[in-house]
Amino acid sequence: MIRLLLSVSILGAGESPRLRIDPLLLAQVAEVYGLIADAGTDGWQNPIWNGWNARDTPILLYLPDVQDALVNHPRPPIGFVPAQHPGLPSGWTLHLRDGTTHFEVDGQNTSTDIEGIETLVVADPLSNLRPGLSQLVRAPGDVHDKEAALTADFLATDPYQQLAFVVHEAFHVHQFRRAGQKMAQESWLGEYPWLAARNLAGFVLEGRLLERALRAEDPFDVAQGALDFLAVRLDRRASLSPQAVAYEDGTEFSEGLAKYTEWKLAETLEGRTPQGPLHWARGFHGYDDLQVWREDLLGQMRAMMDGTVAVNGNLYGAGCLRMRLYSSGMGQAVLLDRLGIEDWQDRILQPETSLTGLLTEVLMATPAELREALDEVHRRENYAQLLVQKQAFEAEGRADALRRSEELLSTRPLLTLDYASLDEAQVAWTYTPFGMARLEDGSTLYDSTPLSVEIGHHASLEQEVALPALYVPREQRIHVPLRGPLPDDLPVGEQENLELALPGLEVRSLRAVLEREDGQVTIRLLP
């Protein structure tokens, strides 16, 4: 009752809230939930994933700083107002909050905790579009070329991709509940050799072999394709550390299986009658033939695993590895379906089970059979030439990271956080794995989203906007460009309990010496 009274007082007498999120997004969520959430039908089964019932998974639709739309949440936080909408399915609830949004960053298609309940999050199409526009604006090049890039395909929202967002992120909630311990730790990514030529060449072969197996019609060809894939995968992984293999398995479990639900959604919807107003969505043509959707997923897999697609504008960064694992996980899951392994969805949720492990168990290949398959693939696919190409690619990637780091260090104004005087300091980063690049000396470049860094209990740095940062562990330094000119009243000398607001970021430290010279600010942390 208190929440209701507060809401009415905020709205004003006689005023009713209105949905400011794209209403087609609500219809798309309802379409997917019609498959993955039990509506009380006798004998209901989820056709996407055995044992998954999304009935108790609420949904947050959002447009940053505009509106949050909370759907089917049993305990909406204070500030959310009950609302109605003609597109709301019978029995569903809707609560709206204007202005303040749970996420201030665009494109967060994810899940989050709201009032103790894990909630699916889907960004408004405008929010998904804005990062691409921002990247285009900030990229070097002629303004007329950028204008020409604003094609209808670039700007339009793919309605099938919106359906994919919903099922993908909703499945993450199920994964976290059933097997949250199987997710990869992103800290492992810092040690992964994502530019190593042999590893890259192996991924290219894996992508080709997965696609060939998934396109095969004869069961023998499917099985042979699976054997070829497994031979290449085991050979590639022989050069990786156990931690790197665990990172792959964990990411294929989390993101690869979520990508697989997109494939299953395309299979499940095919031939059905669309519900609600989906026909009003630009580019929607029903479900009579969804082979184009699956072809698009296969094309993504091929391009990602070939290494020909830049992620967040970087062809050489860790984001490319992440997206390869999305695709390789999806491909292996579909392959297990094609092999007729009926119980694999239940077994993959077990603690020590991986997709590659299941394929190994199912195929029961001998070492001799694996070696023969590997030799044949290497011969047929001209592996020697492919390896030479990836060696050149590795060199290009390292040169690109070095160039970008030198550009960053020459940027003015520049903040340098120096913690070399501290006896022991744990450096903890909050970052996106889609925005990382590594230099040969062990330094790491971060970009794509605003960073947050904590150096033990001594200091913290938090970006307000996404600007690159360079972490140089051998020097125990972090370099971050500033968004605007340095303030004239910047304090210098020894400082205690420092709270410093600089253009684009904030720094706090218990004790430090602050130096300023030629547009560069250095904060040297003291014990």
Eight-class DSSP state of 54: G
Domain assignment of residue 194, yes or no: yes
Average pLDDT on 194-221 reads 96
Q: What is the rounded distance in angstroms from the CA atom of residue 210 to the CA atom of residue 329?
A: 10
Range of the domain at 133: 2-152
What average pLDDT score do residues 68-82 get? 96
Q: How far apart are CA 76 and CA 106, in angstroms?
A: 22
- The lowest-confidence range among 12-26, 114-128, 166-180, 477-491 is 12-26
The answer to whether position 212 is within a domain reads: yes
Would 175 be classed as within a structural domain?
no
Give the model's confidence band at 125: pLDDT under 50 very low, under 70 low, under 90 confident, else very high.
Answer: very high
Overall domain count for the chain: 3
Residues 195 and 234 in one domain: yes
Let me know whether 463 and 369 are in one domain: no
**What is the reported pLDDT for 496?**
95
- Select the highest-mean-pLDDT range: 8-12, 127-131, 213-217, 462-466: 213-217
Residue-wise pLDDT for 279-289, tens only, equals: 999 999 999 99
Does residue 24 fall inside a structural domain?
yes
2 — pLDDT class (breaks 50, 70, 90): very low
* Domain end point (choices 112, 130, 152): 152
Residue 94 has pLDDT above 70, yes or no: yes
- 238 lies in a domain? yes
Q: What is the pLDDT of residue 252?
A: 98
Looking at the fold, whether 380 and 416 belong to one and the same domain comes out as no
Final residue of a structural domain among 361, 394, 427: 394
What is the pTM for the complete model shown?
Answer: 0.89
DSSP 273-333: PPPTTGGGSTT---SS--HHHHHHHHHHHHHHHHT-S-BTTBSSSHHHHHHHHHHHHHHHH
Question: Does residue 227 share a domain with residue 289?
Answer: yes
Q: Are residues 439 and 378 in the same domain?
A: no
Q: Which residues contact 226 (CB under 8 A, 6 or more apart)?
A: 213, 335, 339, 359, 362, 363
User: pLDDT per residue over 237-271, tens digit each?
Assistant: 999 999 999 999 999 999 999 999 999 999 999 99
For all residues of the chain together, what is the average pLDDT? 92
* CB-CB contact of 466 with 446 (8 Å): no
157-173 pLDDT, tens per residue? Answer: 999 999 999 999 999 99
User: Which of 394, 428, 456 finishes a domain?
Assistant: 394
pLDDT in tens, 408-425: 999 999 999 999 999 877
Position 293 pLDDT exceeds 60: yes
Ramachandran assignment for 218, one of left (phi > 0), alpha (psi -120 to 50 degrees), beta (any other): beta
Q: Is residue 10 domain-shared with residue 146, that is, in the same domain?
A: yes
Domain shared by 20 and 125, yes or no: yes
Q: 268 and 329 in one domain? A: yes
Q: What is the pLDDT of residues 367-399, one digit of tens each?
A: 999 999 999 999 999 999 999 999 999 999 999
- Examine residue 147 and state whether it is found in any structural domain, yes or no: yes
Please check whether residues 320 and 437 belong to one and the same domain: no
Give the pLDDT of residue 15.
Answer: 62
Does residue 272 share a domain with residue 350?
A: yes
CA distance 18 to 12: 14
Q: In this structure, is residue 164 part of a structural domain?
A: no
Q: Are 297 and 266 spatial neighbours (Cβ–Cβ below 8 Å)?
A: yes
Residue 40: what residue type?
G
DSSP-based three-state secondary structure for 232 = helix
Average confidence (pLDDT) over 514-522: 93
**443 pLDDT above the threshold of 70:** yes
User: Is 42 found in the same domain as 145?
Assistant: yes
Whether 368 and 462 map to the same domain: the answer is no
